[in-house]
Chain A
Amino acid sequence: MQQSLSAKRRTSLSEFVAERLIRASGFVAIGFVVLIFAFLLREGIPAFTQVPLDNLLSTRWYPIEDHFGMMPLLLGSLIVTIGAALVSIPIGLLTAVFIAEIAPRWLREILKPLVEILAGIPSVVLGFFGIVVMSAAVRQTLGLPTGLTAFTGSLILGYMALPTIVSVAEDALDAVPRSYRDAALALGATKWQTIWMVTVKAARSGILTAMMLGVGRAIGETMAVMMVTGNAARMPLTLNSLFLPVRTMTATIAAEMGEVAQGSTHFHVLFAIGIALFVITFLINLVASLAIFRQTRRAARLLS
């Protein structure tokens, strides 16, 4: 009796410690995010007081002569990310559907780990591949003046986002209960109808998360983009801009942060770009969570 009581106390003690540890690590993670954002704000806000707003919103980025127009960088990141999403989302989702729903078990056991290995290739290696092989191929096949373009960047980024999208979307499809598929098939739906109208629909929120994580990976990627997009700070306003060089926000920060003297205007403007990047990724995540939240509410209503 006494023994079991002390055992009980011991478990409750270890439970107590474990609970506190878990809570502490949760708070630490939140704390880091808050601290990083505070640091970004502290270093980035002076840019808005030191540089007039019309300079920051102008179309010319040439910081060593005090031209701090962020528009070409913003649009540059946007065009490369949209390109990457167009490349990776369709391929990634179809691959996930194939692995989860169509491939026989043995093929699935091979494919899933292989796709996850793709995520382990360092981006600088992909960038090197892009500069040596892909830029020449893009230039020759499309007859462009140079192969160092937003399109080349999109292809490489799309490729880098693929493992994330495939892996997360496949997990979501895999989590759809077997009974959904059985019910659909029993109602006379074909395999295609089952996949498209039941399984994929049921896994919608997971698939959306996969897409957002993929896009998040694309917008934040630096090294490969810096190596293959040419980094020309031009305004990508026309449709053919996808096939011309661009300069992204991440590549600008990476290329210029080492050069600037701490505390200079240029230094603060680079942090302001960092704030812009942070806000954009935050908005993407927010939109994704809102969409997921609305879906779960709707699902809950339907079930009740």
Chain B
Amino acid sequence: MRSSTLGLILCLTLLVGCAGRAIAQDDAAGAAAIENIGSDTLVNVALAWAEAYQGIHPDVRISVTGGGSGTGIASLINGTADIANASRAMKAEERAEAESNGIQPVEIPVARDAIAVIVHPDNPVESLTLQQISDIYSGKLTNWKEVGGEDRPIVLLSRETNSGTHVYFLEEVVRLGDSENKTLFSPDTLLLPSSEGITAEVRQNLNAIGYDGLGYVTPDVKTVAVAAEPGAPYVKPSIESVNTGQYPIARPLFVYTNGEPDGMIKDYIDWILGMDGQAIVAGLGFVPLK
């Protein structure tokens, strides 16, 4: 009995799957579709862009998927994405791989983002230097009292390695931008699959330190002021401090297309880079391009 029900469900799923495919093909003939995959940092902006753009151009359909910058770039290389969102630049190996697959990736900066270092609101630590953050994440400093806090162990939180934010943080903060430096994240670092996982843990755990794109920082966690070097002023992340270049952990965010964008993809990207697209960037807590 149970197995026959299962069989029925399987058959139905297959039927529905086939029907679904048929519909998608009809659609492809009627309305144009853009497949947009990539960075979880950019996913909310990308969704807002897609929604607003489809409002103006009802004949264009844009489907947006997150998963991480690596996921987006891999999809572009495998030919399943038209536009890949990335919060880091493409690596040389990825470019080589794309070219061997016949894909010519073109990089287009679409916004800027500050990476905020976040702690529990009741944590007395207000400011850290880049060197201190590096020592914390590489496991050299393991107690908050070593950086002027209470006597508590430090719990390190990070995004998974497929996150562009993770790679950027490794290169620019843990390794202090030095390409010769081979420091790694401490093996005790908790790798959480989502931004939400990091905020949830920081919100409830006084021991935790995490990092996240400025657009994802909620009011119930505290951002730490960061100094580029020991003597320099401590700066909190904000749109102004990123634009003036004072906040040290800021990066460009990109989209990648296969070849110079043309046709409807070009229209879409021009719109993103225009006033309306950039207004959405600012509205979601990221820093628009000037």
Chain A residue, CB-CB nearest to B182: A65
- Determine if A227 is an interface residue (Cβ-Cβ < 8 Å): yes
Interface pick from B125-133, B159-167, B249-257 = B159-167
- Determine if A259 is an interface residue (Cβ-Cβ < 8 Å): yes
Instruction: Count A-B pairs with CB separation below 8 Å.
Output: 92
A60, A131, A227: the one contacting B187 at CB < 8 Å is A60
Chain A residue, CB-CB nearest to B205: A146
Q: Which residues of A contact B187 (CB under 8 A)?
A: 59-60, 72, 232-235
Assembled-state Cα–Cα distance A264/B74 (Å): 11
Interface membership of chain A positions 250-282, coded 1 if the CB is closer than 8 angstroms to chain B and 0 otherwise? 000001101111101000000000000000000
Minimum distance in angstroms from A144 CB to a CB of chain B: 9
A132, A226, A260: the one contacting B74 at CB < 8 Å is A260
Cβ A261 vs Cβ B162 within 8 A: no
Cβ A146 vs Cβ B155 within 8 A: yes
Within 8 A of B (CB), among A209-262: 226-227, 230-235, 244-245, 247, 255-256, 258-262
- Determine if A90 is an interface residue (Cβ-Cβ < 8 Å): no
Assembled-state Cα–Cα distance A205/B190 (Å): 40
Cβ B77 vs Cβ A147 within 8 A: no
B74, B184, B190: the one contacting A146 at CB < 8 Å is B190
Known contacts A258-B68, A259-B68, A259-B70; is-contact A231 B200 (Cβ 8 Å): no
Overall SS of chain B's interface: mixed
- Determine if B17 is an interface residue (Cβ-Cβ < 8 Å): no
- Determine if A119 is an interface residue (Cβ-Cβ < 8 Å): no
Cβ A146 vs Cβ B201 within 8 A: yes
Interface pick from B191-199, B220-228, B275-283 = B191-199
Cβ A227 vs Cβ B193 within 8 A: yes
- Determine if A122 is an interface residue (Cβ-Cβ < 8 Å): no
Q: Which residues of A contact B155 (CB under 8 A)?
A: 145-146
- Determine if A180 is an interface residue (Cβ-Cβ < 8 Å): no
Q: Which residues of A contact B192 (CB under 8 A)?
A: 148, 230-231
Cβ B207 vs Cβ A258 within 8 A: no
Cβ A148 vs Cβ B190 within 8 A: yes
Minimum distance in angstroms from B179 CB to a CB of chain A: 13
B68, B94, B153, B188: the one contacting A232 at CB < 8 Å is B188
Q: Which residues of A contact B162 (CB under 8 A)?
A: 255-256, 258-259
- Determine if A64 is an interface residue (Cβ-Cβ < 8 Å): yes
Overall SS of chain A's interface: loop
- Determine if A136 is an interface residue (Cβ-Cβ < 8 Å): yes
Minimum distance in angstroms from A134 CB to a CB of chain B: 12
Chain B residue, CB-CB nearest to A228: B197
Minimum distance in angstroms from B1 CB to a CB of chain A: 15
Cβ A256 vs Cβ B201 within 8 A: no
Assembled-state Cα–Cα distance A62/B186 (Å): 10
Known contacts A64-B161, A146-B201, A231-B191; is-contact A261 B207 (Cβ 8 Å): no
B78, B153, B189: the one contacting A262 at CB < 8 Å is B78
> What's the tally of chain B residues with a CB closer than 8 Å to chain A?
33
Q: Which residues of A contact B200 (CB under 8 A)?
A: 131-132
- Determine if A81 is an interface residue (Cβ-Cβ < 8 Å): no
- Determine if B270 is an interface residue (Cβ-Cβ < 8 Å): no
Known contacts A62-B161, A135-B201; is-contact A245 B74 (Cβ 8 Å): no
- Determine if B87 is an interface residue (Cβ-Cβ < 8 Å): no
Within 8 A of B (CB), among A54-95: 59-60, 62-65, 67, 72
- Determine if B134 is an interface residue (Cβ-Cβ < 8 Å): no
- Determine if B185 is an interface residue (Cβ-Cβ < 8 Å): yes
A: contact size bracket: 35 or more
Chain A residue, CB-CB nearest to B97: A261
Assembled-state Cα–Cα distance A260/B191 (Å): 17
Chain B residue, CB-CB nearest to A267: B74
- Determine if B208 is an interface residue (Cβ-Cβ < 8 Å): yes
Known contacts A231-B191, A232-B188, A232-B189; is-contact A255 B201 (Cβ 8 Å): no
Cβ B161 vs Cβ A147 within 8 A: no
Chain B residue, CB-CB nearest to A69: B187
Known contacts A132-B200, A136-B204, A146-B155; is-contact A258 B67 (Cβ 8 Å): yes
Assembled-state Cα–Cα distance A38/B189 (Å): 35
- Determine if A181 is an interface residue (Cβ-Cβ < 8 Å): no
Within 8 A of A (CB), among B47-85: 67-68, 70-71, 74, 77-78
Assembled-state Cα–Cα distance A198/B97 (Å): 65
Q: Which residues of B contact A204 (CB under 8 A)?
A: none
Q: Lowest 3 A-B CB distances belong to which pairs?
A: A259-B162, A259-B70, A230-B190
State the B residues within 8 Å of A (CB). Answer: 67-68, 70-71, 74, 77-78, 94, 97, 152-153, 155, 160-162, 167, 182, 184-185, 187-193, 197, 200-201, 204-205, 207-208
With A139-B205, A260-B70 known, 9 other A-B pairs at CB within 8 A are A67-B184, A131-B197, A145-B155, A146-B190, A146-B208, A148-B192, A148-B201, A259-B68, A260-B74
A–B pairs, 18, beta carbons within 8 Å: A62-B185, A131-B197, A131-B201, A136-B205, A145-B155, A147-B205, A231-B160, A232-B187, A233-B187, A233-B191, A235-B187, A245-B188, A256-B160, A256-B162, A258-B71, A258-B162, A259-B162, A261-B94
State the A residues within 8 Å of B (CB). Answer: 59-60, 62-65, 67, 72, 131-132, 135-136, 139, 145-148, 226-227, 230-235, 244-245, 247, 255-256, 258-262, 264
